[in-house]
Structure 1
Amino acid sequence: MAINNIKEHDLKAEFLDILRNRKVVTYYQPIVSLKDAEIIGYEALSRGPNYSPLHYPNELFGYAKKLNKVWELDLLCRLTAIEKAKEIIGEKYLFINIDSAIVKDPDFKQGFTKEYLAQWGLEPKHIIFEITEHTAIADYKSFKEILENYRGQGYRVAVDDAGEGYAGLRMLAEIRPNFIKIDMGLIRDIDKDMLKRELLKSFQQFSKTTGIKLIGEGIETYDELKTLMEIGIEYGQGYFFQRPQPNMVPLDLKVLNVLHSINDIIRANKEAKEYIRVGDISRLDAPMEYSCHCNEAHQLFSEKYNLQGIVVVKQEEIVGLVMRNKFYLQMLKRTDGAEFLNEPITSAMDPYPLVVDQDSNIQEVSRRAIAREENSVYDYIVVAENNRYKAVTSVAYLLDTLNNIEVE
């Protein structure tokens, strides 16, 4: 029944009945480890009774605000969620949504005493305060002091809907949460959106640096899940795993199989990249002896348009590298080009090219290649066998191989 069609008197009576007779219903949605398919905890989601015009949270809390009863409703929802959470075992967490404004309220403290939690077999370490990014925090200093007091007792903090609100960066910096829940707007169709993927990669790097755990919210499709797992996001939540349920139930076997299957694919891809040797993706270009002159390099470049570099050797020992673009740049700078062409090739070469052993894995080689100075990033990579010239490979081919390895 639409709330707009209910008389104000009846709506108020309905709300007060819910409050007086503790009629809120708690649903739970699991938060899943994407690495091992284990449920790490559940988010508690409070609703009004079924078939009530105040069933959905927006209507229920919206009307509570209208009657200035947010404190009472929040306490009821929290206590109901905790009472039902006795089913949580081991180290699983209970994520409870809170408004930043109520943290300092005495009713809030009453609902989170150690004694009260102990009645239901819970400890502070089981509780995660989930603060939405939509929430405006007027006094960060006081709010941080209150949160630190709770942290000192063993509670943890999560920031919800990160990436959606305007004040999110300051909230993250000030609160320093244990968990960040990435807004579902950034998750939706991430497999088709390069910008979202790059943004999530930045979040992931931030997570690795700070130790703050990331939870992708609102995951609905296989491709969204696979993309997040490939990026390295550690935890997930959404309809793909399970819709909110009145009780805490395990994941369906099909979901478990999907998670294990994707992890197998990612592992296989990683192993494939680790074990491909640079020697396997290199080609044997004829080298040039160090006794040659620049005119011979010019002739070779003229005959082979696609040749971008020439390795210079001394009886198979690598002594340098001549790249086409740098060779002709030097030639242009000379007032007498003919004189330049008569000079020894050693005068035009880079005596310190990147040289790697043929058994080096391509991931390590790629890191070394892109770590070079900017004017040398795209120079050939020289491949050696027992410290003697073996072959060359290009940065483009190296990166293309890394990006296109697929394990069916």
Structure 2
Amino acid sequence: MTMTEQLHALGSILAQGSLHSLFQPIISLSERRILGYEALSRGPSNSPLHSPLALFCVARQAGRLNELEIACRQSACKRFSEQALPGKLFLNVSPESLLETTHQPGRTLQMLREYGIAPSQIVIELTEQAPTDDFQLLQTALHHYRDMGFSIALDDLGAGYSSLRLWSELRPDYVKIDRHFIDGIHQDALKREFVGSILQIAKASRAQVIAEGIELPEELAVLTEMGVDLIQGYLLCRPQEHPPIEARLMLAKPDSTSVSLNEDASDLSALLNEQPAVAQDTATAKVLEAFRSQANLNSLAVLDGRGQPIGIVHRHSLSDVLLKPFATDLFARKPISRLMSDDFLAVELSQSLQQVSRLLTSRARQRIEEDFIITQNGNYLGLGRVIDVLKLITELKIQQARYANPLTLLPGNVPIQQCLTRLLQQQRESVICYVDIDSFKPFNEMKGSVLRKNRQNDTPMFYLGFSGNEAELRAHLDDESVIDEENRT
């Protein structure tokens, strides 16, 4: 197809408004709900510019990129509004279009008014396809969007020309990790290190990480274990004109038959405190009285009319506000929604203790006295305490160290018997695999001799993976009967 024909096809698409808008959900694992949708544009199905790569490449070459992006934005807003899709709308914008002299500020805001979409629902997703030199001008443009109430996302982190500098300069609300680092992450330790570093930087910059391009259950499992909460990809849902509006339709139900030797329970029942909640229109004075009458009450969840949490009130935060001069008189009759915090963690009852622990540690502002909310299918059940999570995690680690084989770190007879007993009591249908490894005794003896040799040479032994400290390991090694007993087992 000649360049002239491509330009003609582009002109026809823009003149006729024949773009197609598809939507791909972005899901919050902790809340099991849809955070929002990324809008993706396509040309007409019978057009040589159906592919977005060809469509935007031709527009860039023709100097009509800004015009095309505005048309895509309008189509996405219209379809999003018509379907009344929940959550946020992620709109792709290239930095070069923002820096074009023909770019007209205010067009997007006018468009949102036309389709009845609140600015707080819009996330400007910055997609870097070409080098960006004028960071100051780009920062000014994005501050303009922020002032209008939009959020900012940085797309394809790790793939662009200067994405790390963009992150540092622009401080986005969301950061999307490039698909390259998600692909096969369960088989690539270096990719896991990269994603782990991104999570640490995001924690410091108070940005939320979105893992996009997830296609395999193994990838999702690793990302979940690492503490990634926001996910997107073909495994969950392909881009569609009419996407699902409920996350449960895309998330696999928790496997009620799975049993972990590392956890005492398959859900968070042990952490659940069935504390009462308050409605969002409850007077502040009534909430204050509840705290005064219950000395051990640290937090109260705030619910909407459907019984779903929309905020949380912490005792210390409420006290800090009401200690200010005239604050009690000013807020006493106001609804508690005025003083609640919407920066809260809500987890599903079916999630594991390890998952909740990672979510808590990934929250930069989480305080040990602040509670988190436990839900079931999005509905409020009760509260959980951070200190209880720490206690249970510590107990599990101690139990693992006590009963694990010091050489292989495999579970010993006690946790295996506990697991079998639990399965029998719960009458679960289960499969047990017994593996008999030939010549394992010489291998075990060789590892034992290596440990003893390293002890004599004062060589650090932590690389062997022992879960205790050095003193505990030396205590094991000083008792030759421990090694002999393990060899006989």
TM-score, length-scaled by structure 1 = 0.65
Q: Tell me the SS of whatever aligns to 1:82.
A: helix
200-209 or 102-111: bigger deviation: 102-111
Residue of structure 2 equivalent to 1:112? 108
Instruction: Please give the alpha-carbon distance, in whole angstroms, between the structure 2 residues aligned to 1:40 and 1:233.
Output: 14
Counterparts of 1:316-335 in structure 2, within 5 Å, are none
CA displacement 1:111-131 (0-9 Å, x = unmatched): 222x43122111221111111
Which 5+ residue runs of structure 1 have no aligned equivalent? 284-303, 309-322, 329-364, 370-376, 383-391, 395-408
Residue of structure 2 equivalent to 1:156? 151
Residue of structure 2 equivalent to 1:211? 206
Which 5+ residue runs of structure 2 have no aligned equivalent? 259-265, 268-349, 356-388, 404-447, 460-465, 478-489
Preserved CA contact (<8 Å) 1:133 1:171: no
Preserved CA contact (<8 Å) 1:82 1:117: yes
Residues 36 and 65 of structure 1: CA distance in aligned 2, closer, same or farther (over 3 Å): same
Instruction: Please give the alpha-carbon distance, in whole angstroms, between the structure 1 residues aligned to 2:167 and 2:195.
Output: 16
TM-score, length-scaled by structure 2 = 0.55
> How far did 1:90 drift?
8.5
> How far did 1:281 drift?
3.4
Residues 142 and 223 of structure 1: CA distance in aligned 2, closer, same or farther (over 3 Å): same
Q: Percent identity?
A: 31
Preserved CA contact (<8 Å) 1:102 1:108: no
Letter matched to residue 56 of structure 1:
S
Counterparts of 1:367-378 in structure 2, within 5 Å, are 378=470
Residues 236 and 306 of structure 1: CA distance in aligned 2, closer, same or farther (over 3 Å): closer
Instruction: Please give the alpha-carbon distance, in whole angstroms, between the structure 2 residues aligned to 1:70 and 1:274.
Output: 55
Greater C-alpha Rg: 1
Q: Tell me the SS of whatever aligns to 2:18.
A: coil
Counterparts of 1:1-400 in structure 2, within 5 Å, are 4=1, 7-87=2-82, 92-104=87-99, 105=101, 107-113=103-109, 115-250=110-245, 255-258=250-253, 267-269=352-354, 273-276=393-396, 278=398, 281-282=401-402, 378-380=470-472
Residues 110 and 21 of structure 1: CA distance in aligned 2, closer, same or farther (over 3 Å): farther
Preserved CA contact (<8 Å) 2:74 2:111: no
Letter matched to residue 109 of structure 1:
P
Instruction: Please give the alpha-carbon distance, in whole angstroms, between the structure 1 residues aligned to 2:85 and 2:53.
Output: 32
Instruction: Please give the alpha-carbon distance, in whole angstroms, between the structure 2 residues aligned to 1:131 and 1:260.
Output: 37
The Cα RMSD (Å) is 3.4
CA displacement 1:19-67 (0-9 Å, x = unmatched): 1111111111111112232111111111111121111111111222232
Give the paired residue count: 300
Letter matched to residue 378 of structure 1:
E
Preserved CA contact (<8 Å) 1:41 1:93: yes
Instruction: Please give the alpha-carbon distance, in whole angstroms, between the structure 1 residues aligned to 2:141 and 2:245.
Output: 35
Residues 325 and 24 of structure 1: CA distance in aligned 2, closer, same or farther (over 3 Å): same
Q: Tell me the SS of whatever aligns to 2:471.
A: coil
Preserved CA contact (<8 Å) 2:33 2:247: no
Residues 61 and 393 of structure 1: CA distance in aligned 2, closer, same or farther (over 3 Å): same
Letter matched to residue 278 of structure 1:
I
Residues 217 and 67 of structure 1: CA distance in aligned 2, closer, same or farther (over 3 Å): same
Instruction: Please give the alpha-carbon distance, in whole angstroms, between the structure 1 residues aligned to 2:450 and 2:18.
Output: 76
> How far did 1:249 drift?
2.3
79-88 or 231-240: bigger deviation: 79-88
Q: Tell me the SS of whatever aligns to 1:172.
A: helix
Q: Tell me the SS of whatever aligns to 1:247.
A: coil
Preserved CA contact (<8 Å) 2:130 2:161: no
Q: Tell me the SS of whatever aligns to 2:92.
A: strand
Letter matched to residue 14 of structure 2:
L
Residue of structure 2 equivalent to 1:362? none
> How far did 1:10 drift?
4.1
Instruction: Please give the alpha-carbon distance, in whole angstroms, between the structure 2 residues aligned to 1:125 and 1:252.
Output: 21
Residue of structure 2 equivalent to 1:350? none
Instruction: Please give the alpha-carbon distance, in whole angstroms, between the structure 2 residues aligned to 1:249 and 1:90.
Output: 9
Letter matched to residue 195 of structure 2:
L
